[in-house]
Structure 1
Amino acid sequence: MIDYLTVKETGLKWNISGRMVTIYCNNGKIGGAIKKANLWLIPVDAEKPLDGRTIKAKKARSKNE
């Protein structure tokens, strides 16, 4: 059985806002996230997506091109 966290719990774990977690979920950037009615559930072991605005993300993106 997979354990899930709420958007708020995931935001606290990743040190970002719950709104940013919701944006990642809506954009399909969190693998395994599921939406139940009005609630996103994120697997406990999900990886935090790279923020596309950071230098680290830009370098990773340029390697893939």
Structure 2
Amino acid sequence: MDYMTLKEASEKWGVSSRQVNYYCVEGRIPGAVKMAGVWLLPKDAVKPVDGRTKEGRAQK
């Protein structure tokens, strides 16, 4: 399986690398693994929905 780093994912998804780190810590990216202190994400991973925005929240 091919992996990408936090920096590569942040550029791909248009968010900060810190935000991608939060996604990894919370377990919101399936297949993400931490090796030697570095998060590795699958190349085909999709960006999780951001619950902080109106578009990301569940509609009531």
- What is the TM-score with the length of structure 2 in the denominator? 0.92
Higher normalized helix content (fraction of residues): 1
Runs of 4+ residues deviating >2 angstroms = none
Rounded Cα–Cα distance in structure 1 between residues aligned with 2:38 and 2:9 = 13
User: What's the counterpart of residue 48 of structure 1?
Assistant: 47
- What is the CA–CA distance in structure 2 between the aligned matches of 1:23 and 1:59, rounded to whole Å? 20
Q: Which runs of 5+ in 2 are unaligned?
A: none
Please tell me the root mean square deviation across aligned C-alpha atoms, in Å.
1.2
Percent sequence identity over matched residues? 48
| Aligned residues between the structures | 60
Query: Distance in 1 between the 2:20 and 2:55 partners?
Result: 19
Q: Secondary structure at the match of 2:34?
A: strand
CA distance in 2, matches of 1:37, 1:27: 18
TM-score of the two chains, using structure 1 as the length reference: 0.85
Note the C-alpha offset of 1:26: 0.3
Which one-letter code corresponds to 1:41 in the other structure? L
Q: Secondary structure at the match of 2:55?
A: helix
